[in-house]
Homo-oligomer: A and B are copies of this chain.
């Protein structure tokens, strides 16, 4: 399952992340190789799951999703059943763009994208009605300084 990624693979991944609409030929030239080897490496990395979904980044504000909250959650419950229900809810809710289980006294952090504060409150009410939560702090984003799905591949020496 785990592929060994070499320097050329990494160059290809960097190029694809930057702009997945470029042609094979352009990418090959950019990474200093040619079509066939680049093509077979991309295919292998897709099969191995290193390369996942191909997508386009959209302008959230232009689409009316103008509010972004980071939600810090503490819970007193740690049974498997509670956790399964909680995780299922997070995965199902499209407003939840990030959800992480944390080390330390805060148990979970979420990033939630919604149209406005009212829509956040609806999400929040739905969440706490589904699972018992001990303490919630919502941090409202005033300004998105940066938001990118692009991994910092240049900083991995390997």
Interface residues, chain A, with chain B CB atoms under 8 Å away: 2-3, 5, 10, 13, 16-21, 48-60, 62-65, 68, 70, 87, 90-91, 94-104, 106, 108-109, 111, 113-115, 119, 139-156, 158
> Chain A: interface secondary structure?
mixed
Q: Which of B94, B97, B109 contacts A70 (CB 8 A)?
A: B109
Chain B residues lying within 8 Å of A99, measured Cβ to Cβ, are 144-147
A98 CB to closest chain B CB (Å) equals: 5
Inter-subunit contact B56/A53 (CB<8 Å): yes
Q: Which of B59, B60, B87, B158 contacts A145 (CB 8 A)?
A: B87
Chain B residues lying within 8 Å of A155, measured Cβ to Cβ, are 94-95, 114-115, 119
Can you pick out 19 interface pairs between chain A and chain B where the beta carbons lie within 8 Å of each other?
A2-B62, A10-B63, A20-B56, A49-B59, A50-B59, A65-B152, A95-B155, A96-B146, A97-B146, A97-B147, A99-B146, A100-B141, A100-B145, A100-B147, A101-B142, A101-B143, A103-B142, A114-B155, A149-B149
